[in-house]
Amino acid sequence: MRTVYLDHAATTPVHPDVVAAMAPYWSDSAGNASSMHEPGRIARHAVDDARDTIARALGATPSEVVFTSGGTEGINAAIKGAAIAAMARGRHVVTTAIEHHAVLHACGWLANLGFETTIVPVDRNGMVDPHDVRRAIRPDTVLVSVMFANNEVGTIQPIAEVAAFTRHAGVPLHVDAVQAAGTLPIDVHSMGIDLMTISAHKFQGPKGVGVLTIRNGTPWLPMQSGGAQESNRRAGTENVPGIVGLATALRLAVAHRDEANLHLSRLRDSAIERILSAVPHARLTGHPTQRLANNASFAFQGVEGESILLSLDMAGIAASSGSACTSGATEPSHVVAALGLPDDWVRGTLRLSFGAANDLGDVEAVATVLPSAVARLRALAPRRRDAGSAAPPITGAVEGNPATVKPAHG
Ligand code: PLP
């Protein structure tokens, strides 16, 4: 049985052209990019070329591109490095309720140094109001971190508007663009982004390699000590095959972005329409229009997301109940909870994220299996279901003043 893979927000298969571009750097040209000899110079040349390609794709200068081991490292380096560099000026950071755990936990870790974090809420579509960010900024704020696009519900944030406020306040802005890179147009300079994180495995590049862009002049301290690689900003031998793979994948993704997004949004819209019409007590999560082209995410009342995933898995369909990093845990997703859905909806989440190799047959497969799977699971646990009611009004939507919290560590 062929697996229908609908979990591209978790990770993507590596593009064959990327595999080919990386191949020489595992063996024939496997020099250390810091070595003086010929193999070292070949590796250095490949890293420099990759840096130029990436800078062009992201609207940065090559000197602003720092290679990392992926999204989690880039985010930790950005948040801790910018906050600690400015801590003599203040110990307050601002972020949002729907960030990836890498962001929320990095901000939480800063509490060890006496930092406070203000968590700005989102509306019922998972959208941040830039004015809420503006209101959260205080005289002692040293960093704002807002994601470009959400990994669970796909909502795309108004980053340029947020950046206009952070610029005006003179506070650096970090953007987690892990789900946006390769899919949405990005220009860090014209958008006013000071620090930005991307990760290759989300756009058909290899796992374990990413980029942190640091705008020249941004106060920032490296958190990793060691050699002088990456102009003293990220110690450690460069992952040359990974860096070449990232640059190739990003170049391909940007070159084919429009046609890819058209294909993906057709699959997404078909899935949304078919599932909402076939499954009772179901709703779309995330913004109806400002959403990633490949993301169709849902909440189903009175059913556990994990049980839906297992049913789909048995039918050969790989999906997610939210972010891959939390799907092993029994707690409902903090992202879906932040949308203000009642508890018996928050637990029943499903994320379908499409990729280049998917087609309408894959939408057909999930739209065929899902309605009976949800009905069967609801029949097994009838007390969790309020069968007679339509989707309830959303209560407790988080609006108004952002809460100031000191999050728990790590
Ligand atoms: N940020 C977002 C929005 C993500 O979706 C992910 C991965 O799921 C990460 C950060 C972490 O990236 P990585 O897997 O490269 O560490």
Q: What are the distances in angstroms from CA 378 to CA 3, 20, 275, 306, 397? A: 25, 47, 16, 13, 26
Q: Tell me what the mean pLDDT of segment 263-281 comes to.
A: 98
151 lines ligand 1 (CB under 6 A): yes
102 lines ligand 1 (CB under 6 A): yes
Fold type of domain 4-9+257-392: Aspartate Aminotransferase, domain 1 (3.90.1150)
Q: In this structure, which residue's CA is closest to atom 13 in ligand 1?
A: 71
Model confidence over 209-219: pLDDT tens digits? 999 999 999 99
Q: How far apart are CA 60 and CA 73, in angstroms?
A: 20
pLDDT score of 31 more than 90: yes
Domain boundaries, the chain: 4-9+257-392, 16-255+400-405
pLDDT, averaged across the chain = 92
Its pTM stands at: 0.93
242 lines ligand 1 (CB under 6 A): no
At 322, the pLDDT band (50, 70, 90 cuts) reads low
From the alpha carbon of 72, which atom of ligand 1 is closest?
16
Q: Tell me what the mean pLDDT of segment 177-206 comes to.
A: 98
CATH 3.40.640.10 assigned to domain 16-255+400-405? The reply is yes
pLDDT of residue 176: 99
Helix (H) or strand (E) holding 232: helix 229-232
State the CB neighbour count (10 A cutoff) for residue 251.
Answer: 19
Residues that are catalytic? 325
pLDDT score of 106 more than 90: yes
> By mean pLDDT, which of 54-68, 170-184, 325-339 is the weakest?
325-339
118 lines ligand 1 (CB under 6 A): no
Q: How far apart are CA 214 and CA 225, in angstroms?
A: 18
Q: How far is CA 143 from the centre of its chain?
A: 19
Q: Is 28 exposed, middle or buried, given 0-12, 13-18 or 19+ CB atoms closer than 10 A?
A: exposed
CA of 72 to the centre of ligand 1 (A): 6
pLDDT score of 395 more than 70: no
> By mean pLDDT, which of 250-264, 276-290, 393-407 is the weakest?
393-407
CA of 399 to the centre of ligand 1 (A): 26
